[in-house]
Structure 1
Amino acid sequence: MGVITKITVQQKRVDRYNIEIDGEYAFSADEAVLIEFNLKKGQTITEEERSEIGVRDNVQRGINTAINFLSVRMRSEKEVRNYLKKKEIELEAQDEIMERLGSMGYLNDEQFADAYIKTQIQTTEKGPAVILRELKEKGIDDYTAASLIEQFTEEEQIEKAADLFQKQLKKYKRDSAFLQQKKAEQHVLTKGYSAAVMKKAAIKAEPDAEAEMEALMHQAEKAHRRYQSFEKREYRQKMKAALYRKGFDLSDIDRAIDRLSEE
């Protein structure tokens, strides 16, 4: 038991106060805790009360820490719990902190998931499978995630997948149409789109015969530099095998070899 002899505001934290008991520093407390316990100079305080103040202050510190974390953007409950652990907020206080945050409107996993899905659709190339995986990692239950992902319509998925597919075709324009298609398809699938959506997206991509011949000639010239020293028959065999492995059509390959031979 002791008597509070001095209460002062901390220099770097105006929302926290240093409490002196019997002329010596005893503990610090958040302003909300100070008000809750009506702490004032001259007040007698027991060890039991000091212990209770410590518990309440830890809860309030956790709430303040979480609100600061949430001020940047919406977070899931799992993200907030992980952050509290990282900040070494006592486990015993976390349940109350989470409950208080929920009652104050700071936490709502359904609202978080809905906003997260909308943001991913609007700002990224991610497909449903990737978005669902990320929601699961953030602690969103399967039912909530599955019901909310329905807002990502198949029409929107096909449109985004088609754009992504076209970008990849351009990236691999030096490859044969066959390889371009395979590489583009694989990339789109890894972004979280289904095979069914991928198939419909690929239909939108019209083959470009001129670009295909340009890619073939590029690869043919590279192969020519490797095999030009070979006897004519062996040269042709090696050229055809090399270009066929890259996915080009045999009749186009023959035309490319003939064109090189004429030069």
Structure 2
Amino acid sequence: MPVITKISVQQKRTDRYNIEVDGEYAFSVDEAVLIEFNLQKGREMTKAEAEKIQIRDNVRKGFNAAIHYLSIRMRSEKEVQDYLKKKEVDEASRQEILTRLHDMGYVNDSQFADAFIKTQMQTTDKGPYLIHRELKEKGINEETAFSLMEQFTEEEQMEKAARLYEKQLKKYKRDSAFLQKKKAEEYVMTKGYSASSIKKAAIKHEPDEEQEMDALMYQAEKAHRRYQSYEKGEYRQKMKMALYRKGFDLSDIDKAIEKLQEE
């Protein structure tokens, strides 16, 4: 029967040991596995037992990898599963590892989802729909996600949506009120806010006539530089089409064109 002839500590990993059987390297094991199977020099070991030891060691390696992964930040069960798959840990070992992690309180989807929502609310501009979608991608079930998302109140959603909306209006202040509103609404929607929240945010920001005229003149001057070499009739037509496409009112466009032509 094969006999363990040498056990030595690895140079770079002092928690792992190389096992030699009948004078030749056979495999390496974690310190916990070494102790669990009482591995020592002179001990006889069958082939079946050697395979069992290596399976146990694979579980231990996967468990250690998962612990390190979780030490960086909280993770959902799906994230840990995906990580272990990437590490090529077999399915049976993954299930055993996850069971141990659950029992030790290191993996808990409800606690993870709650912390994730709070972090997103406090540190990002994301709305409820976007956060909910990300929870789903991380494997959180609908019931848990829906229940915990209630902490993101309508009032908070409204406040954040309004801030984002106002910020976008300022960003596009050189555009027409129509385009400003359109771009702001589209942006806030991509951040995961509901149509009703966006509508309420928009109500607070009625178009400013003076600002609208400033934006019109800015765009008109740009168009004028492009079309000023055209014959009068064609020039006027192209100017009106260009400015109308940008969302300005036709009567205001006529005033802007007349003003430019007077200069």
1:148: how far off?
0.7
Unaligned runs of 5+ in 2: none
Q: Give the TM-score taking structure 1 as reference length.
A: 0.94
Question: 1:110 matched to which residue of 2?
Answer: 110
SS in 2 for 1:18: strand
Task: Give the percent of matched residue pairs that are identical in Structure 1 and Structure 2.
Answer: 73
User: Cα gap change, 1:231/1:26 in structure 2, threshold over 3 Å: closer, same or farther?
Assistant: closer
1:223: how far off?
2.1
Q: Counterparts of 2:236 and 2:55 in 1: how far apart (Å)?
A: 84
Letter in 1 for 2:21: I
Question: 1:180 matched to which residue of 2?
Answer: 180
Deviation sequence 1:115-164 (CA, Å, 0-9, x none):
11111111111111111111111111111111111111111111111111
1:92: how far off?
2.2
SS in 2 for 1:241: helix
Once the two structures are overlaid, the 10-residue window that deviates more, 210-219 or 10-19, is 210-219
Once the two structures are overlaid, the 10-residue window that deviates more, 208-217 or 105-114, is 208-217
Q: Counterparts of 1:122 and 1:158 in 2: how far apart (Å)?
A: 15
SS in 2 for 1:71: helix
User: Cα gap change, 1:235/1:3 in structure 2, threshold over 3 Å: closer, same or farther?
Assistant: closer
In the alignment, is the contact (CA less than 8 A) between 1:162 and 1:205 conserved in 2?
A: no
SS in 2 for 1:140: coil
Question: 1:54 matched to which residue of 2?
Answer: 54
In the alignment, is the contact (CA less than 8 A) between 1:169 and 1:180 conserved in 2?
A: yes
User: Cα gap change, 1:24/1:259 in structure 2, threshold over 3 Å: closer, same or farther?
Assistant: same
Once the two structures are overlaid, the 10-residue window that deviates more, 220-229 or 127-136, is 220-229
Once the two structures are overlaid, the 10-residue window that deviates more, 9-18 or 39-48, is 39-48
Letter in 2 for 1:67: I
Deviation sequence 1:56-108 (CA, Å, 0-9, x none):
11110110111111111111111111111111112221110110111111100
In the alignment, is the contact (CA less than 8 A) between 1:216 and 1:256 conserved in 2?
A: yes
SS in 2 for 1:101: helix
Q: Counterparts of 2:233 and 2:55 in 1: how far apart (Å)?
A: 88
Q: Counterparts of 1:68 and 1:231 in 2: how far apart (Å)?
A: 73
Q: Counterparts of 2:3 and 2:237 in 1: how far apart (Å)?
A: 100
Letter in 2 for 1:160: K
Which residues of 2 match residues 22-41 of structure 1 at below 5 A? Answer: 22-41=22-41
User: Cα gap change, 1:51/1:227 in structure 2, threshold over 3 Å: closer, same or farther?
Assistant: closer
1:221 and 2:221 matched: yes
1:207: how far off?
2.8
SS in 1 for 2:81: helix
Letter in 1 for 2:247: G
Which residues of 2 match residues 97-136 of structure 1 at below 5 A? Answer: 97-136=97-136
Q: Counterparts of 2:121 and 2:204 in 1: how far apart (Å)?
A: 20
Q: Counterparts of 2:37 and 2:221 in 1: how far apart (Å)?
A: 84
Deviation sequence 1:195-237 (CA, Å, 0-9, x none):
0011111123243333222210011112222333445455444
Question: 2:252 matched to which residue of 1?
Answer: 252
Q: Give the TM-score taking structure 2 as reference length.
A: 0.94
Which residues of 2 match residues 160-171 of structure 1 at below 5 A? Answer: 160-171=160-171
Q: Counterparts of 1:234 and 1:7 in 2: how far apart (Å)?
A: 92
1:159 and 2:159 matched: yes
Q: Counterparts of 2:211 and 2:55 in 1: how far apart (Å)?
A: 71
SS in 1 for 2:42: coil
SS in 1 for 2:72: coil
Question: 1:4 matched to which residue of 2?
Answer: 4
In the alignment, is the contact (CA less than 8 A) between 1:120 and 1:126 conserved in 2?
A: yes
Question: 1:21 matched to which residue of 2?
Answer: 21
SS in 2 for 1:5: strand
User: Cα gap change, 1:261/1:8 in structure 2, threshold over 3 Å: closer, same or farther?
Assistant: same
Number of equivalent positions: 263
Question: 1:91 matched to which residue of 2?
Answer: 91
Q: Counterparts of 1:168 and 1:45 in 2: how far apart (Å)?
A: 71
Once the two structures are overlaid, the 10-residue window that deviates more, 245-254 or 16-25, is 245-254
Letter in 1 for 2:181: Q
SS in 2 for 1:25: strand
